[in-house]
Structure 1
């Protein structure tokens, strides 16, 4: 279909923004929570989800157990929608797998009479702009409808909206393996040897790791989960070996603390620490990767530096658990104010920058910290953290509660933000934490939180 043939809606009057829906990008936990919060306030919404069902990115790591119990995983407005149905709330203290978060919460929520007609599946938002305005035009910008270009079923259409909430997450855009942040010089030559974070080591992906040497790169909870499963595999097949490479001097975040208020998160760290102490996992610290190249026998050669000396690790498989980054390409015509380091909203960045915060503590934040120069445009959920780690679903739920109040005209309530998160018990200023090396919890990925 050519550009001239694109089907479009009738152009709305700039005086009728209130008649347009709020467009939400992503039908993960935070996107659906945003929709529930807005509908509860009488604000119409339309939700675009690239996957074929709600929580598609969560389903990709559905074999992984979260370390947050159900009491921290259900948004309040979403829960009220579900309470109108025959939905049975899971046991509050139970720790679900990712697939249970999808099957027992996200799919029933998306199927409620209020949400179901408003969700468009297999619909990828490729661009966000303003009707008849690129980012350089200023006059009347705030009263001009947003224009979203959407690809669906092989066709492209356009949708107008009064506001946009981007809750598309970051799971599909992992950080690079090299210390420079750049891809390998010849990525195609080693593509078969590199695996995304949280592979199904004991299930569908077992054949990639059984009897092989695996290098796990990253110092966050995604790495910890993978190391634990590889250790189980190694006990079942003693030809399996495991190396763990990190850039920092110590994987303090992965090891966690006995004072962690989320018991399962603390146990996760203890278990990984035990694997290293017992020699079941070979920890290589201060390893900065320069490039990955093919080696003999279909292996990969990971070349880098350690303590100023050239260092090479050969492996059959490399698991990239170095964290994630936001995909900003579709927002090129939107006026964003992003921190130059972590790519989070500028007012939020100092509160979450891993170079400044290593305690897992996040100050309450909402619409004031998430606002951009573009009126009524917000990035929420894991994507709002940019490249920073340690995101929890509770954070995203309070973000979209605040945004919903703002869009509904309840400006005072929008700024009365309260956020009480379970403490990690980890606090270290002796060495910087590793930027981005953690697993997301929401907005397309709720892993292990």
Structure 2
């Protein structure tokens, strides 16, 4: 099988880095991208600026491949937008990889040649077959290994608080967006409107900052921020304690937007239904709480992986996060909120199916806060493993920037056990100290300046971020 290609699914940042790493080791990569170009998913949030610098967004093997072609590396300390990440790095990298990258090629299945998932015999000796749909029809590609770096962009989580679409959510799709809005290109849609934003990650913070700026320019724009968690807690991030300064500044800017009165925060709201009220929508919580009608809803509640096309290979995934079972305990948001994880490689990502690896955002399953640096180290290790350099695969060395927010708060920010009195426990943010356990608490006071967000001045920072998935 050494003559067969290693199929990489997805021509995003991690998939292209995997190809560069494989090529550097003398292997033959074949990157299959469902979209019309490399970086197709990144291009869909082209207006958003990352909170990682260029120095953290270029894979080392990719740099070594690009530099002989005359490629000029961007300034290490600059923060690109999604559009710049594509045009200045991903597109040139795909061009340098040449025929190793194919676009408009959607992978719809992976299997062991001649065997379904049940058959034991030959799983170590037979190659994998990758089933592909193209404009010309169906195709079968025989591969020695498959690296799934397809990401999760195509599978956003729904608005519904139980992980399934709320009643009426699909019917109201014309008024619901699942991406960070482009308030410049879509000003007519959001300016002067009442908007609900659901979510508590960096994507939600990005949207809040953008919409708050729109509210300053267009009076009458009103933003309601829906948090499923019972308290605001550390939702604004680590501030000056964050080792990615722009990520910390993002949270502080969102806090300032709430303080300025542009954002109303509603805690403990888990959406159960979406109802029409003329041209507007009314969101109803599982407790029957009804919010005032809104014109638009922006749902930024994270993403989930699609494993449907891997149904005929053997996977060992955590039942909660849908991440590789050895990785899941390190990234479980129910256990911690650190936002970074010990560097890991092939030994954590490999699956029971020989030659199959999950990498990139998809390896995190439903867990948040994935960094490009993590993905680059993942595929460096995986490429070494496939090449037979097991020592290099095991020697994972990478120091990730901390978020400045740690402590096991969990996805609902339950600060102390219920036995300490009340279902919610005492809150960690000053303004929340009087919070009761009633659902859908509306936080109308300014967000406290103390607590986890510190006092970092951000007046001179104009950065936004794509959220958990740069």
- Regarding TM over 0.5, the answer is yes
Q: Which residue of 2 aligns with 1:96?
A: 80
Asked if 2 retains the 8 angstrom alpha-carbon contact of 1:124 and 1:151, the reply is: yes
Asked if 2 retains the 8 angstrom alpha-carbon contact of 1:24 and 1:45, the reply is: yes
Q: Which residue of 1 aligns with 2:152?
A: 170
Q: CA deviation at 1:428?
A: 3.3
Q: Which residue of 1 aligns with 2:55?
A: 71
- Alignment of 1:57 with 2:41, yes or no, is yes
Asked if 2 retains the 8 angstrom alpha-carbon contact of 1:127 and 1:149, the reply is: yes
Asked if 1 retains the 8 angstrom alpha-carbon contact of 2:160 and 2:166, the reply is: yes
CA distance in 2, matches of 1:210, 1:199: 12
Q: CA deviation at 1:426?
A: 1.0
SS, match of residue 276 in structure 1: helix
Q: CA deviation at 1:255?
A: 3.4
For 1:370-402, what per-residue CA distance to the aligned partner results, in whole angstroms no more than 9, with x for missing partners? 111101101100000000001000000000000
Asked if 1 retains the 8 angstrom alpha-carbon contact of 2:169 and 2:273, the reply is: no
Q: Which residue of 2 aligns with 1:365?
A: 344
Structure 1 segments of 4+ aligned residues over 2 angstroms from their partners: 184-188, 253-257, 308-314, 428-434, 445-449
Q: Which residue of 2 aligns with 1:262?
A: 244
SS, match of residue 2 in structure 2: helix
- Alignment of 1:252 with 2:231, yes or no, is no
CA distance in 2, matches of 1:418, 1:68: 19
For 1:26-58, what per-residue CA distance to the aligned partner results, in whole angstroms no more than 9, with x for missing partners? 000000000000000001011100111110000
Q: Which residue of 1 aligns with 2:90?
A: 106
CA distance in 1, matches of 2:208, 2:398: 31
- The farther-off stretch of 342-351 and 254-263 is 254-263
Residues 253 and 365 (structure 1 numbering): CA distance in 2 closer, same or farther, change over 3 Å?
farther
1:323 to 282, 292, 302: 302
2:214 to 229, 233, 236: 233
For 1:285-313, what per-residue CA distance to the aligned partner results, in whole angstroms no more than 9, with x for missing partners? 111111222222x21121104xx563434
Asked if 2 retains the 8 angstrom alpha-carbon contact of 1:220 and 1:251, the reply is: no
For 1:254-296, what per-residue CA distance to the aligned partner results, in whole angstroms no more than 9, with x for missing partners? 3332211111111100010111122210011111111222222
1:196 to 178, 192, 212: 178
Q: CA deviation at 1:433?
A: 5.3
SS, match of residue 289 in structure 2: strand
CA RMSD of aligned residues (A): 1.7
Asked if 2 retains the 8 angstrom alpha-carbon contact of 1:31 and 1:168, the reply is: yes
CA distance in 2, matches of 1:415, 1:253: 35
Q: CA deviation at 1:413?
A: 1.0
SS, match of residue 143 in structure 1: coil
1:402 to 381, 397, 401: 381
Report the count of equivalent residues.
418
- The farther-off stretch of 174-183 and 422-431 is 422-431
Asked if 2 retains the 8 angstrom alpha-carbon contact of 1:58 and 1:446, the reply is: no
For 1:50-81, what per-residue CA distance to the aligned partner results, in whole angstroms no more than 9, with x for missing partners? 11111000000010000110010000000000
For 1:312-334, what per-residue CA distance to the aligned partner results, in whole angstroms no more than 9, with x for missing partners? 34211111100000011111111
Q: Which residue of 2 aligns with 1:121?
A: 103
Q: CA deviation at 1:188?
A: 3.7
Asked if 2 retains the 8 angstrom alpha-carbon contact of 1:253 and 1:433, the reply is: no
Q: Which residue of 1 aligns with 2:454?
A: none
Asked if 2 retains the 8 angstrom alpha-carbon contact of 1:347 and 1:369, the reply is: yes
Residues 162 and 448 (structure 1 numbering): CA distance in 2 closer, same or farther, change over 3 Å?
closer
CA distance in 2, matches of 1:230, 1:257: 20
Q: CA deviation at 1:336?
A: 0.5
Q: Which residue of 1 aligns with 2:394?
A: 415
Q: CA deviation at 1:133?
A: 0.8
CA distance in 2, matches of 1:448, 1:408: 29
Q: Gaps spanning 5+ residues in structure 1: where?
A: 1-16, 435-444
- Alignment of 1:85 with 2:82, yes or no, is no
Q: CA deviation at 1:149?
A: 1.0
